[in-house]
Amino acid sequence: MNIPVFISYHLRIYELIIINIDQVILFLVFLQKNPVLFITHYSSFNIW
């Protein structure tokens, strides 16, 4: 495998991981700031 391809492939994986972590952090912040809204949204989501 050639080196630039290898590096770019790994950067892509790290990008995806960072994006996922970012979404989890946003989710946790939202949950702390507005638990009632979250619970109602989640329960309505579960009904559907």
Whether the predicted pLDDT of 48 surpasses 50: no
> Over the stretch 2-27, which tens digit does the pLDDT of each residue have?
778 877 888 888 888 888 888 888 88
* Residue 30 and residue 38 in contact, taking contact as beta carbons nearer than 8 Å: yes
On whether the CB atoms of residues 29 and 38 are closer than 8 A, the answer is no
Which pLDDT score is estimated for 34?
73
- pLDDT of 47 above 60: no
Residue bearing the bigger pLDDT, 18 or 31: 18
Take residue 12 and report the two structure tokens written for it.
Answer: 């892509």
HSE toward the beta carbon, residue 42, CA cutoff 13 A: 9
Tell me the whole-structure pTM to 2 decimals.
0.42
